[in-house]
A and B are shown apart, each in its own frame.
Chain A
Amino acid sequence: MIVRIVATGMCHSDIVVVKQEFPLPLPLVLGHEGAGIVAQVGAGVTHVAPGDPVVLSFDSCAHCPTCADAHAAYCGDFMRLNFAGTRLDGTPIFGGATDVKGGFFYQSSFATFALAHARNVVKVRADAPLDLLGPLGCGVQTGAGAVLNVLKPKPGSSFCLFGAGPVGLSGLMAAKLHGCDPIIAVDKVASRLELARTFGATITIDAGSEDVAARLADLGGVDLAFEASGVPAVAQLAIQSLRTLGTCALVGVYPAGKPIALDLSGLAPGATIRQIVEGDGRGERLFSPLHAFVERSPLGGLNILRIMGFEGEDHYLPRLARWAWFAVAGGSGVPTREILAEMDAVSKEMGDAFAPIIAARRAMPTDDFVSRLVTAGEGDDKLTDDEVIGNLILTLLAGHDTTLNTMVLSVEALSRNPEGRAWMRANPDELVKAVMELSRHIAMSTEQARIVAEDFEWCGQQLKQGQIVHLMTATANRDPRVFADPERLDFTRDQSENVTFGPGIHHCIGHLFAKMQLEEFFTEFLLRYDSFDVLDDLKFAPGLSFRGVSSLNVRLHRAG
Protein backbone atom coordinates (compact mmCIF):
# COMPACT_ATOMS: atom_id res chain seq x y z
CA MET A 1 0.00 0.00 0.00
CA ILE A 2 0.97 3.62 -0.30
CA VAL A 3 1.11 5.50 3.00
CA ARG A 4 1.25 9.27 3.26
CA ILE A 5 3.90 9.76 5.91
CA VAL A 6 2.83 12.03 8.78
CA ALA A 7 5.91 11.51 10.96
CA THR A 8 8.87 9.20 11.21
CA GLY A 9 11.47 8.42 13.82
CA MET A 10 15.19 8.33 13.14
CA CYS A 11 16.95 5.32 14.62
CA HIS A 12 20.55 4.22 15.11
CA SER A 13 19.93 1.66 12.36
CA ASP A 14 19.46 4.55 9.90
CA ILE A 15 22.66 6.20 11.07
CA VAL A 16 24.83 3.09 10.74
CA VAL A 17 23.76 2.85 7.09
CA VAL A 18 24.56 6.52 6.49
CA LYS A 19 28.01 5.91 7.99
CA GLN A 20 28.22 2.66 6.00
CA GLU A 21 29.05 0.70 9.16
CA PHE A 22 26.14 -1.36 7.84
CA PRO A 23 27.15 -1.13 4.17
CA LEU A 24 23.91 -1.25 2.21
CA PRO A 25 24.22 -0.07 -1.42
CA LEU A 26 23.73 3.65 -1.99
CA PRO A 27 21.96 5.81 -3.07
CA LEU A 28 19.12 4.83 -0.79
CA VAL A 29 16.05 6.26 0.94
CA LEU A 30 16.21 5.31 4.62
CA GLY A 31 13.62 5.60 7.40
CA HIS A 32 11.90 2.71 9.15
CA GLU A 33 9.76 4.19 11.92
CA GLY A 34 7.05 5.70 9.74
CA ALA A 35 3.50 6.57 10.74
CA GLY A 36 0.87 7.98 8.45
CA ILE A 37 -2.39 7.66 6.57
CA VAL A 38 -3.10 4.95 3.99
CA ALA A 39 -3.46 6.56 0.58
CA GLN A 40 -3.83 3.53 -1.70
CA VAL A 41 -4.01 -0.25 -1.26
CA GLY A 42 -3.38 -3.24 -3.50
CA ALA A 43 -6.29 -5.42 -4.59
CA GLY A 44 -5.50 -8.15 -2.06
CA VAL A 45 -5.19 -5.93 1.02
CA THR A 46 -8.21 -6.17 3.30
CA HIS A 47 -7.10 -5.18 6.82
CA VAL A 48 -6.62 -1.50 6.03
CA ALA A 49 -8.27 0.94 3.65
CA PRO A 50 -7.49 4.41 2.34
CA GLY A 51 -7.83 6.94 5.15
CA ASP A 52 -6.77 4.53 7.91
CA PRO A 53 -4.03 5.70 10.31
CA VAL A 54 -1.18 3.19 10.44
CA VAL A 55 2.26 2.58 11.91
CA LEU A 56 4.92 0.82 9.83
CA SER A 57 7.30 -1.84 11.11
CA PHE A 58 9.61 -4.50 9.63
CA ASP A 59 8.61 -7.10 7.05
CA SER A 60 8.75 -10.89 7.26
CA CYS A 61 7.80 -13.72 4.93
CA ALA A 62 5.11 -15.31 7.17
CA HIS A 63 5.83 -18.88 6.00
CA CYS A 64 9.43 -19.83 6.90
CA PRO A 65 9.92 -22.05 9.99
CA THR A 66 10.68 -19.16 12.35
CA CYS A 67 7.74 -17.08 11.07
CA ALA A 68 5.49 -20.12 11.41
CA ASP A 69 6.77 -20.45 14.97
CA ALA A 70 5.65 -16.84 15.71
CA HIS A 71 9.18 -15.40 15.65
CA ALA A 72 8.86 -13.13 12.63
CA ALA A 73 11.80 -10.99 13.71
CA TYR A 74 14.06 -13.96 12.93
CA CYS A 75 12.49 -14.55 9.50
CA GLY A 76 14.78 -16.49 7.18
CA ASP A 77 14.31 -13.80 4.54
CA PHE A 78 14.64 -10.84 6.92
CA MET A 79 17.73 -9.43 5.23
CA ARG A 80 16.36 -9.61 1.69
CA LEU A 81 12.90 -8.36 2.64
CA ASN A 82 14.13 -5.38 4.63
CA PHE A 83 17.52 -4.44 3.21
CA ALA A 84 17.70 -5.52 -0.46
CA GLY A 85 16.83 -2.05 -1.75
CA THR A 86 14.18 -3.63 -3.98
CA ARG A 87 11.20 -5.94 -3.65
CA LEU A 88 11.95 -9.59 -2.91
CA ASP A 89 11.77 -10.46 -6.62
CA GLY A 90 14.30 -7.73 -7.44
CA THR A 91 11.89 -5.23 -8.98
CA PRO A 92 12.55 -1.63 -7.95
CA ILE A 93 10.47 0.51 -5.59
CA PHE A 94 11.11 3.67 -7.55
CA GLY A 95 10.33 3.97 -11.25
CA GLY A 96 11.78 6.09 -14.01
CA ALA A 97 15.46 6.42 -14.70
CA THR A 98 16.57 6.81 -11.08
CA ASP A 99 19.38 4.83 -9.49
CA VAL A 100 17.89 5.36 -5.99
CA LYS A 101 17.03 2.24 -4.01
CA GLY A 102 14.19 1.97 -1.50
CA GLY A 103 12.23 -0.52 0.50
CA PHE A 104 14.34 -0.03 3.62
CA PHE A 105 12.39 -2.14 6.15
CA TYR A 106 9.86 -2.28 3.29
CA GLN A 107 8.97 1.36 3.85
CA SER A 108 11.77 3.98 3.34
CA SER A 109 9.79 6.44 5.41
CA PHE A 110 12.08 9.46 4.95
CA ALA A 111 9.72 10.54 2.20
CA THR A 112 6.34 12.11 1.67
CA PHE A 113 4.87 8.71 0.71
CA ALA A 114 6.06 5.16 1.38
CA LEU A 115 5.32 1.84 -0.27
CA ALA A 116 4.72 -0.88 2.32
CA HIS A 117 3.72 -4.53 2.33
CA ALA A 118 0.45 -5.67 3.87
CA ARG A 119 2.42 -7.52 6.56
CA ASN A 120 4.37 -4.60 7.97
CA VAL A 121 1.50 -2.17 8.43
CA VAL A 122 -0.45 -1.96 11.69
CA LYS A 123 -3.70 -0.04 11.86
CA VAL A 124 -4.09 2.21 14.91
CA ARG A 125 -7.04 4.08 16.35
CA ALA A 126 -8.50 7.02 14.47
CA ASP A 127 -7.50 9.44 17.23
CA ALA A 128 -3.96 8.03 17.49
CA PRO A 129 -1.22 10.68 17.82
CA LEU A 130 0.65 9.70 14.66
CA ASP A 131 3.37 12.24 15.36
CA LEU A 132 4.36 10.16 18.41
CA LEU A 133 3.80 6.56 17.33
CA GLY A 134 6.41 5.98 14.63
CA PRO A 135 9.09 4.66 17.03
CA LEU A 136 6.70 1.90 18.12
CA GLY A 137 7.63 0.27 14.81
CA CYS A 138 11.27 -0.30 15.76
CA GLY A 139 12.94 1.41 18.73
CA VAL A 140 10.20 1.04 21.31
CA GLN A 141 9.30 -2.42 20.03
CA THR A 142 12.93 -3.50 20.20
CA GLY A 143 13.39 -2.37 23.81
CA ALA A 144 10.01 -3.00 25.36
CA GLY A 145 9.38 -6.15 23.34
CA ALA A 146 12.64 -7.72 24.48
CA VAL A 147 11.46 -7.41 28.08
CA LEU A 148 7.76 -8.13 27.56
CA ASN A 149 8.15 -10.99 25.06
CA VAL A 150 11.47 -12.58 25.99
CA LEU A 151 12.82 -11.74 29.44
CA LYS A 152 9.40 -11.65 31.16
CA PRO A 153 10.97 -10.74 34.51
CA LYS A 154 9.54 -11.83 37.80
CA PRO A 155 8.59 -8.98 40.14
CA GLY A 156 11.59 -8.15 42.28
CA SER A 157 14.17 -9.18 39.67
CA SER A 158 17.13 -6.84 39.53
CA PHE A 159 17.44 -5.16 36.13
CA CYS A 160 20.38 -3.20 34.78
CA LEU A 161 20.17 -1.15 31.60
CA PHE A 162 23.41 -0.41 29.75
CA GLY A 163 22.82 2.50 27.37
CA ALA A 164 19.87 4.74 28.23
CA GLY A 165 18.86 5.74 24.70
CA PRO A 166 15.35 5.30 23.31
CA VAL A 167 15.63 1.52 22.91
CA GLY A 168 17.14 1.05 26.37
CA LEU A 169 14.65 3.33 28.09
CA SER A 170 11.81 1.46 26.41
CA GLY A 171 13.19 -1.72 27.94
CA LEU A 172 13.57 0.02 31.29
CA MET A 173 9.92 1.13 31.28
CA ALA A 174 8.82 -2.40 30.48
CA ALA A 175 10.99 -3.65 33.36
CA LYS A 176 9.23 -1.22 35.65
CA LEU A 177 5.86 -2.49 34.43
CA HIS A 178 7.02 -5.98 35.42
CA GLY A 179 7.94 -4.83 38.93
CA CYS A 180 11.73 -5.18 38.61
CA ASP A 181 13.57 -3.87 41.64
CA PRO A 182 16.13 -2.42 41.74
CA ILE A 183 16.20 -0.89 38.27
CA ILE A 184 19.72 0.30 37.48
CA ALA A 185 20.67 2.52 34.55
CA VAL A 186 24.24 2.94 33.28
CA ASP A 187 25.21 5.68 30.84
CA LYS A 188 27.79 8.41 30.35
CA VAL A 189 25.26 11.16 29.62
CA ALA A 190 23.80 12.91 32.66
CA SER A 191 20.56 13.93 30.92
CA ARG A 192 19.92 10.34 29.91
CA LEU A 193 20.42 9.17 33.47
CA GLU A 194 17.99 11.84 34.62
CA LEU A 195 15.47 10.60 32.09
CA ALA A 196 16.06 7.03 33.27
CA ARG A 197 15.24 8.09 36.84
CA THR A 198 12.06 9.72 35.57
CA PHE A 199 11.06 6.49 33.87
CA GLY A 200 11.71 4.30 36.89
CA ALA A 201 15.43 3.76 37.48
CA THR A 202 16.09 3.48 41.19
CA ILE A 203 19.89 3.52 40.86
CA THR A 204 21.93 5.34 38.22
CA ILE A 205 25.61 4.87 37.48
CA ASP A 206 27.61 7.45 35.54
CA ALA A 207 29.96 5.36 33.41
CA GLY A 208 32.04 8.44 32.71
CA SER A 209 33.08 8.91 36.31
CA GLU A 210 32.30 5.72 38.21
CA ASP A 211 33.67 2.17 38.20
CA VAL A 212 30.59 0.43 36.81
CA ALA A 213 31.86 -3.11 37.38
CA ALA A 214 32.69 -2.35 41.00
CA ARG A 215 29.30 -0.72 41.65
CA LEU A 216 27.48 -3.69 40.17
CA ALA A 217 29.68 -6.14 42.07
CA ASP A 218 28.79 -4.31 45.29
CA LEU A 219 25.14 -4.92 44.44
CA GLY A 220 25.84 -8.64 44.05
CA GLY A 221 25.37 -8.60 40.27
CA VAL A 222 22.04 -8.46 38.48
CA ASP A 223 19.38 -10.93 37.36
CA LEU A 224 18.82 -9.16 34.05
CA ALA A 225 21.44 -7.20 32.12
CA PHE A 226 19.95 -5.25 29.20
CA GLU A 227 22.62 -4.15 26.72
CA ALA A 228 21.30 -1.43 24.42
CA SER A 229 24.41 0.65 23.74
CA GLY A 230 25.68 -1.33 20.77
CA VAL A 231 29.22 -1.00 22.12
CA PRO A 232 31.07 -4.35 22.29
CA ALA A 233 33.02 -3.44 25.44
CA VAL A 234 29.78 -2.53 27.19
CA ALA A 235 28.25 -5.83 26.12
CA GLN A 236 31.24 -7.54 27.74
CA LEU A 237 30.60 -5.60 30.95
CA ALA A 238 26.90 -6.48 30.85
CA ILE A 239 27.62 -10.20 30.54
CA GLN A 240 30.12 -10.02 33.41
CA SER A 241 27.56 -8.27 35.63
CA LEU A 242 25.25 -11.28 35.78
CA ARG A 243 24.57 -13.19 38.95
CA THR A 244 23.67 -16.89 39.10
CA LEU A 245 20.98 -17.84 36.57
CA GLY A 246 21.02 -14.30 35.21
CA THR A 247 20.23 -13.36 31.62
CA CYS A 248 21.98 -10.81 29.45
CA ALA A 249 19.86 -9.44 26.59
CA LEU A 250 21.80 -8.01 23.66
CA VAL A 251 19.55 -5.67 21.65
CA GLY A 252 22.14 -3.28 20.24
CA VAL A 253 23.44 -3.20 16.67
CA TYR A 254 27.13 -4.14 16.98
CA PRO A 255 29.88 -3.18 14.55
CA ALA A 256 31.54 -5.95 12.58
CA GLY A 257 35.15 -6.92 13.30
CA LYS A 258 35.17 -5.89 16.96
CA PRO A 259 35.14 -9.09 19.05
CA ILE A 260 35.06 -9.14 22.83
CA ALA A 261 37.08 -11.30 25.22
CA LEU A 262 35.20 -13.37 27.76
CA ASP A 263 36.77 -15.34 30.59
CA LEU A 264 34.25 -18.17 30.51
CA SER A 265 35.46 -19.46 33.88
CA GLY A 266 34.08 -16.27 35.37
CA LEU A 267 30.66 -16.53 33.76
CA ALA A 268 27.83 -16.66 36.30
CA PRO A 269 26.54 -20.20 36.86
CA GLY A 270 23.50 -20.88 34.71
CA ALA A 271 23.89 -17.61 32.85
CA THR A 272 22.07 -17.01 29.55
CA ILE A 273 23.21 -14.65 26.80
CA ARG A 274 20.36 -13.83 24.45
CA GLN A 275 20.51 -11.74 21.29
CA ILE A 276 17.09 -10.26 20.53
CA VAL A 277 15.87 -8.73 17.25
CA GLU A 278 12.96 -6.25 17.16
CA GLY A 279 11.81 -7.38 20.59
CA ASP A 280 10.99 -10.82 19.12
CA GLY A 281 7.56 -9.42 18.34
CA ARG A 282 5.09 -8.74 15.61
CA GLY A 283 3.83 -5.19 15.48
CA GLU A 284 0.14 -5.82 15.94
CA ARG A 285 0.70 -7.92 19.07
CA LEU A 286 2.76 -5.26 20.80
CA PHE A 287 1.44 -1.96 19.49
CA SER A 288 -1.95 -2.03 21.14
CA PRO A 289 -0.76 -2.28 24.76
CA LEU A 290 2.18 0.04 24.10
CA HIS A 291 -0.09 2.60 22.47
CA ALA A 292 -2.37 2.46 25.49
CA PHE A 293 0.64 2.97 27.75
CA VAL A 294 1.82 5.99 25.77
CA GLU A 295 -1.65 7.48 26.08
CA ARG A 296 -1.86 6.81 29.80
CA SER A 297 1.51 8.12 30.85
CA PRO A 298 0.63 11.83 31.09
CA LEU A 299 -2.61 11.04 32.94
CA GLY A 300 -3.59 13.87 35.22
CA GLY A 301 -0.38 15.79 34.67
CA LEU A 302 -1.38 17.01 31.24
CA ASN A 303 -4.70 18.29 32.53
CA ILE A 304 -3.27 20.29 35.42
CA LEU A 305 -0.52 21.74 33.23
CA ARG A 306 -3.13 23.01 30.79
CA ILE A 307 -5.35 24.35 33.56
CA MET A 308 -2.39 26.24 35.03
CA GLY A 309 -1.53 27.68 31.63
CA PHE A 310 1.99 26.22 31.44
CA GLU A 311 3.43 26.11 27.97
CA GLY A 312 5.80 23.36 26.87
CA GLU A 313 4.00 20.26 28.12
CA ASP A 314 6.72 18.09 26.64
CA HIS A 315 9.22 19.71 29.00
CA TYR A 316 7.22 19.21 32.18
CA LEU A 317 5.45 15.89 31.66
CA PRO A 318 8.56 13.67 31.82
CA ARG A 319 9.63 15.38 35.04
CA LEU A 320 6.35 15.37 36.91
CA ALA A 321 6.52 11.83 38.28
CA ARG A 322 10.02 12.31 39.73
CA TRP A 323 9.18 15.72 41.16
CA ALA A 324 6.05 14.36 42.81
CA TRP A 325 7.76 11.23 44.14
CA PHE A 326 10.57 13.06 45.93
CA ALA A 327 8.45 16.00 47.04
CA VAL A 328 6.12 13.56 48.78
CA ALA A 329 8.86 11.20 49.95
CA GLY A 330 10.65 14.10 51.62
CA GLY A 331 7.70 14.42 53.95
CA SER A 332 7.91 10.81 55.08
CA GLY A 333 8.38 9.97 58.74
CA VAL A 334 12.11 9.35 58.58
CA PRO A 335 13.35 10.32 55.12
CA THR A 336 16.79 9.04 54.23
CA ARG A 337 19.65 11.41 53.46
CA GLU A 338 19.39 10.37 49.81
CA ILE A 339 15.69 11.25 49.68
CA LEU A 340 16.29 14.59 51.37
CA ALA A 341 19.07 15.37 48.90
CA GLU A 342 16.84 14.47 45.97
CA MET A 343 14.01 16.51 47.48
CA ASP A 344 16.32 19.52 47.62
CA ALA A 345 17.35 18.87 44.04
CA VAL A 346 13.79 18.61 42.68
CA SER A 347 12.76 21.70 44.67
CA LYS A 348 15.53 23.62 42.93
CA GLU A 349 14.58 22.12 39.56
CA MET A 350 10.99 23.19 40.03
CA GLY A 351 12.00 26.67 41.19
CA ASP A 352 14.33 27.07 38.22
CA ALA A 353 11.60 25.87 35.86
CA PHE A 354 8.96 28.20 37.24
CA ALA A 355 11.09 31.36 37.69
CA PRO A 356 11.06 32.40 34.00
CA ILE A 357 7.29 31.90 33.83
CA ILE A 358 6.79 34.07 36.92
CA ALA A 359 9.07 36.79 35.50
CA ALA A 360 7.19 36.76 32.21
CA ARG A 361 3.80 37.03 33.91
CA ARG A 362 5.00 39.84 36.18
CA ALA A 363 6.09 41.74 33.06
CA MET A 364 2.94 40.95 31.11
CA PRO A 365 0.07 39.35 33.05
CA THR A 366 -2.49 37.27 31.19
CA ASP A 367 -5.60 35.57 32.53
CA ASP A 368 -3.85 32.34 33.52
CA PHE A 369 -3.22 30.86 36.96
CA VAL A 370 0.34 32.18 37.33
CA SER A 371 -0.77 35.71 36.47
CA ARG A 372 -3.51 35.51 39.11
CA LEU A 373 -0.89 34.56 41.70
CA VAL A 374 1.61 37.32 40.83
CA THR A 375 -1.09 40.01 40.80
CA ALA A 376 -2.93 38.82 43.93
CA GLY A 377 -2.93 41.08 47.00
CA GLU A 378 -3.34 44.76 47.62
CA GLY A 379 -0.83 47.58 47.02
CA ASP A 380 2.66 46.35 47.80
CA ASP A 381 1.37 43.31 49.66
CA LYS A 382 2.04 40.83 46.86
CA LEU A 383 3.32 37.30 46.92
CA THR A 384 7.08 37.02 46.66
CA ASP A 385 8.66 34.84 43.98
CA ASP A 386 9.33 32.16 46.59
CA GLU A 387 5.70 32.24 47.69
CA VAL A 388 4.48 32.00 44.11
CA ILE A 389 6.86 29.11 43.47
CA GLY A 390 5.59 27.38 46.62
CA ASN A 391 2.00 27.75 45.45
CA LEU A 392 2.86 26.51 41.97
CA ILE A 393 4.65 23.46 43.34
CA LEU A 394 1.73 22.66 45.62
CA THR A 395 -0.85 23.14 42.88
CA LEU A 396 1.05 21.24 40.23
CA LEU A 397 1.88 18.24 42.39
CA ALA A 398 -1.43 18.18 44.25
CA GLY A 399 -3.26 18.45 40.96
CA HIS A 400 -1.31 15.59 39.47
CA ASP A 401 -0.14 13.13 42.10
CA THR A 402 -3.27 13.01 44.22
CA THR A 403 -5.60 12.31 41.31
CA LEU A 404 -3.27 9.72 39.85
CA ASN A 405 -2.81 7.93 43.18
CA THR A 406 -6.55 7.96 43.79
CA MET A 407 -7.12 6.32 40.41
CA VAL A 408 -4.51 3.64 41.08
CA LEU A 409 -5.57 2.80 44.64
CA SER A 410 -9.23 2.82 43.61
CA VAL A 411 -8.54 0.33 40.82
CA GLU A 412 -6.93 -1.91 43.43
CA ALA A 413 -9.93 -1.53 45.76
CA LEU A 414 -12.42 -2.15 42.96
CA SER A 415 -10.51 -5.23 41.77
CA ARG A 416 -11.65 -6.88 45.01
CA ASN A 417 -15.18 -5.52 44.88
CA PRO A 418 -17.38 -6.75 42.00
CA GLU A 419 -20.48 -5.37 43.75
CA GLY A 420 -18.90 -1.92 43.76
CA ARG A 421 -18.10 -2.16 40.05
CA ALA A 422 -21.67 -3.24 39.33
CA TRP A 423 -23.05 -0.31 41.36
CA MET A 424 -20.90 2.19 39.47
CA ARG A 425 -21.97 0.78 36.11
CA ALA A 426 -25.63 0.83 37.16
CA ASN A 427 -25.50 4.36 38.56
CA PRO A 428 -23.53 6.50 36.10
CA ASP A 429 -25.29 9.65 37.28
CA GLU A 430 -24.08 9.11 40.85
CA LEU A 431 -20.42 8.49 40.13
CA VAL A 432 -19.39 11.48 42.21
CA LYS A 433 -20.73 9.65 45.28
CA ALA A 434 -18.64 6.63 44.31
CA VAL A 435 -15.60 8.86 43.80
CA MET A 436 -16.05 10.36 47.27
CA GLU A 437 -16.51 6.95 48.88
CA LEU A 438 -13.48 5.55 47.08
CA SER A 439 -11.44 8.58 48.20
CA ARG A 440 -12.56 8.04 51.79
CA HIS A 441 -11.93 4.32 51.64
CA ILE A 442 -8.49 4.27 50.03
CA ALA A 443 -7.28 7.23 52.11
CA MET A 444 -4.84 8.56 49.55
CA SER A 445 -4.64 11.88 51.38
CA THR A 446 -3.96 11.12 55.02
CA GLU A 447 -3.50 14.49 56.68
CA GLN A 448 -3.43 18.21 56.22
CA ALA A 449 -1.36 20.74 58.14
CA ARG A 450 -2.77 23.90 59.66
CA ILE A 451 -1.31 26.77 61.74
CA VAL A 452 -3.12 27.65 64.96
CA ALA A 453 -4.52 31.21 64.58
CA GLU A 454 -5.16 31.84 68.29
CA ASP A 455 -4.82 30.00 71.60
CA PHE A 456 -7.59 27.52 72.34
CA GLU A 457 -8.27 24.20 74.05
CA TRP A 458 -9.42 21.16 72.09
CA CYS A 459 -10.43 17.92 73.80
CA GLY A 460 -8.19 18.66 76.77
CA GLN A 461 -5.24 19.75 74.65
CA GLN A 462 -4.01 23.33 74.84
CA LEU A 463 -3.13 24.69 71.40
CA LYS A 464 -0.99 27.82 71.08
CA GLN A 465 -1.05 30.44 68.37
CA GLY A 466 1.50 29.71 65.67
CA GLN A 467 1.76 25.97 66.36
CA ILE A 468 1.53 23.61 63.41
CA VAL A 469 -1.07 20.88 63.79
CA HIS A 470 -1.66 17.94 61.53
CA LEU A 471 -5.30 17.08 60.96
CA MET A 472 -5.48 13.33 60.33
CA THR A 473 -8.24 13.36 57.76
CA ALA A 474 -7.81 9.68 56.91
CA THR A 475 -8.56 8.81 60.55
CA ALA A 476 -11.56 11.15 60.61
CA ASN A 477 -12.87 9.45 57.49
CA ARG A 478 -12.80 6.13 59.36
CA ASP A 479 -14.49 7.41 62.50
CA PRO A 480 -17.17 4.78 63.28
CA ARG A 481 -19.26 7.45 65.03
CA VAL A 482 -19.65 9.13 61.63
CA PHE A 483 -19.24 6.30 59.12
CA ALA A 484 -20.93 3.05 60.15
CA ASP A 485 -18.78 0.01 59.40
CA PRO A 486 -16.05 2.33 58.07
CA GLU A 487 -13.86 -0.42 56.55
CA ARG A 488 -16.63 -1.29 54.13
CA LEU A 489 -16.82 0.29 50.67
CA ASP A 490 -20.40 1.55 50.50
CA PHE A 491 -21.37 3.81 47.63
CA THR A 492 -24.78 4.56 49.13
CA ARG A 493 -23.53 6.10 52.37
CA ASP A 494 -23.87 9.82 53.17
CA GLN A 495 -20.72 11.73 52.16
CA SER A 496 -21.51 15.08 53.81
CA GLU A 497 -18.94 14.49 56.58
CA ASN A 498 -16.23 13.21 54.21
CA VAL A 499 -13.12 15.38 54.77
CA THR A 500 -10.93 14.00 51.97
CA PHE A 501 -10.71 17.42 50.33
CA GLY A 502 -10.20 19.23 53.60
CA PRO A 503 -12.61 20.71 56.11
CA GLY A 504 -13.42 24.40 56.51
CA ILE A 505 -12.39 27.35 54.38
CA HIS A 506 -9.24 25.61 53.15
CA HIS A 507 -11.23 23.12 51.11
CA CYS A 508 -9.11 21.87 48.21
CA ILE A 509 -9.16 24.45 45.42
CA GLY A 510 -9.05 21.69 42.83
CA HIS A 511 -11.72 19.39 44.26
CA LEU A 512 -14.17 19.89 41.39
CA PHE A 513 -11.44 19.32 38.83
CA ALA A 514 -10.27 16.18 40.63
CA LYS A 515 -13.81 14.79 40.85
CA MET A 516 -14.41 15.53 37.18
CA GLN A 517 -11.25 13.68 36.13
CA LEU A 518 -12.03 10.72 38.40
CA GLU A 519 -15.60 10.46 37.09
CA GLU A 520 -14.33 10.50 33.51
CA PHE A 521 -11.65 7.94 34.31
CA PHE A 522 -13.96 5.43 35.98
CA THR A 523 -16.66 5.80 33.33
CA GLU A 524 -14.18 4.86 30.61
CA PHE A 525 -12.27 2.27 32.64
CA LEU A 526 -15.38 0.33 33.66
CA LEU A 527 -16.69 0.53 30.12
CA ARG A 528 -13.53 -1.00 28.71
CA TYR A 529 -12.84 -3.67 31.32
CA ASP A 530 -15.21 -6.17 32.90
CA SER A 531 -12.83 -7.01 35.69
CA PHE A 532 -9.20 -6.62 36.65
CA ASP A 533 -6.79 -8.46 38.91
CA VAL A 534 -3.94 -6.88 40.83
CA LEU A 535 -0.96 -9.17 40.37
CA ASP A 536 1.24 -8.29 43.30
CA ASP A 537 1.27 -6.76 46.76
CA LEU A 538 0.99 -3.02 47.05
CA LYS A 539 4.38 -1.36 47.43
CA PHE A 540 3.79 2.08 48.88
CA ALA A 541 6.09 4.95 48.10
CA PRO A 542 7.37 6.77 51.19
CA GLY A 543 5.36 9.74 52.35
CA LEU A 544 2.98 10.63 55.16
CA SER A 545 0.61 13.08 53.51
CA PHE A 546 -0.05 11.23 50.28
CA ARG A 547 -0.28 7.47 49.85
CA GLY A 548 0.84 6.24 46.45
CA VAL A 549 2.27 3.00 45.14
CA SER A 550 5.61 2.63 43.41
CA SER A 551 4.03 0.36 40.80
CA LEU A 552 0.92 -1.70 40.24
CA ASN A 553 0.70 -4.62 37.85
CA VAL A 554 -2.88 -5.23 36.80
CA ARG A 555 -4.33 -7.89 34.50
CA LEU A 556 -7.24 -6.37 32.59
CA HIS A 557 -10.17 -8.38 31.25
CA ARG A 558 -11.81 -6.62 28.35
CA ALA A 559 -15.54 -6.06 28.28
CA GLY A 560 -17.43 -7.98 25.60
Chain B
Amino acid sequence: MREIQAAVVRNAGGPFAIETLQLDDPRDDE
Protein backbone atom coordinates (compact mmCIF):
# COMPACT_ATOMS: atom_id res chain seq x y z
CA MET B 1 0.00 0.00 0.00
CA ARG B 2 1.15 3.51 -0.82
CA GLU B 3 -0.36 6.64 0.68
CA ILE B 4 -1.45 9.08 -2.02
CA GLN B 5 -3.41 12.31 -2.39
CA ALA B 6 -6.31 12.22 -4.81
CA ALA B 7 -9.10 14.51 -6.05
CA VAL B 8 -12.30 12.70 -5.08
CA VAL B 9 -15.78 13.43 -6.43
CA ARG B 10 -18.36 12.41 -3.85
CA ASN B 11 -21.48 14.13 -5.18
CA ALA B 12 -22.99 14.88 -8.59
CA GLY B 13 -21.72 18.24 -9.76
CA GLY B 14 -18.65 18.05 -7.56
CA PRO B 15 -16.63 19.49 -6.01
CA PHE B 16 -13.29 17.71 -6.28
CA ALA B 17 -11.98 17.26 -2.74
CA ILE B 18 -8.42 16.26 -1.91
CA GLU B 19 -8.37 13.12 0.19
CA THR B 20 -5.62 10.83 1.43
CA LEU B 21 -6.05 7.27 0.15
CA GLN B 22 -4.14 3.98 0.26
CA LEU B 23 -3.24 2.82 -3.27
CA ASP B 24 -2.98 -0.95 -3.63
CA ASP B 25 0.32 -2.54 -4.69
CA PRO B 26 0.60 -3.60 -8.33
CA ARG B 27 -0.15 -7.18 -9.28
CA ASP B 28 2.03 -9.11 -11.70
CA ASP B 29 0.38 -7.64 -14.79
CA GLU B 30 0.13 -4.12 -13.40
What is A's interface to B at a CB cutoff of 8 Å? 1-2, 17-20, 26-31, 40-45, 91-96, 98, 100, 102, 108, 110-118
Contact = CB atoms under 8 A, between A and B. Distances in A.
Given A28-B9, A42-B28, A96-B21, A110 B4 contact: no
Considering the complex of A and B, which 3 residue pairs feature the smallest CB-CB distances, nearest first? Answer: A111-B6, A44-B28, A110-B7
B30 A117 contact: yes
Given A18-B12, A110-B6, A111-B4, A94 B22 contact: yes
Interface in B1-30: 1-2, 4-14, 16, 19, 21-30
A115 B7 CA distance: 15
Given A94-B21, A95-B24, A112-B4, A42 B9 contact: no
B10 A18 contact: no
Nearest to A2: B26
Contacts of B11: 26
Given A18-B16, A27-B9, A93-B23, 15 more contacts: A1-B30, A27-B8, A29-B9, A31-B7, A40-B25, A40-B26, A42-B26, A42-B28, A45-B30, A93-B24, A94-B21, A100-B21, A110-B16, A111-B4, A112-B6
Contacts of A41: 26, 30
Nearest to A97: B22
B30 A98 contact: no
A26 B14 CA distance: 10
Nearest to B7: A110
A551 to B, nearest CB: 41
Contacts of B16: 18, 110
A18 B9 contact: yes
A98 B21 contact: yes
A29 B29 contact: no
Interface of B: 1-2, 4-14, 16, 19, 21-30
Contacts of B7: 29-31, 110-111
A94 B6 CA distance: 11
Contacts of A111: 4-7, 21, 23
A100 B24 CA distance: 13
Contacts of A102: 6, 21, 23
Contact of A44 (B9, B25, B29): B29
Nearest to A44: B28
Nearest to A101: B8
Nearest to A118: B29
A26 B13 CA distance: 11
A166 B29 CA distance: 32
Contacts of B1: 95-96
Nearest to B16: A110
A45 B23 CA distance: 18
A27 B10 CA distance: 4
A28 to B, nearest CB: 6
Given A1-B30, A18-B9, A45-B29, A113 B19 contact: no
A44 B28 CA distance: 5
Contacts of B23: 2, 93-95, 102, 111, 113-115
A418 to B, nearest CB: 47
Contacts of B28: 42-45
A477 B6 CA distance: 63
Given A20-B12, A27-B8, A28-B8, A42 B24 contact: no
A216 B7 CA distance: 43
Contacts of A117: 29-30
8 contacts: A18-B12, A26-B12, A28-B8, A40-B25, A45-B30, A95-B1, A110-B6, A113-B4
B12 to A, nearest CB: 4
A1 B2 CA distance: 12
Given A18-B9, A26-B12, A28-B8, A95 B22 contact: yes
B26 to A, nearest CB: 4
A31 to B, nearest CB: 7
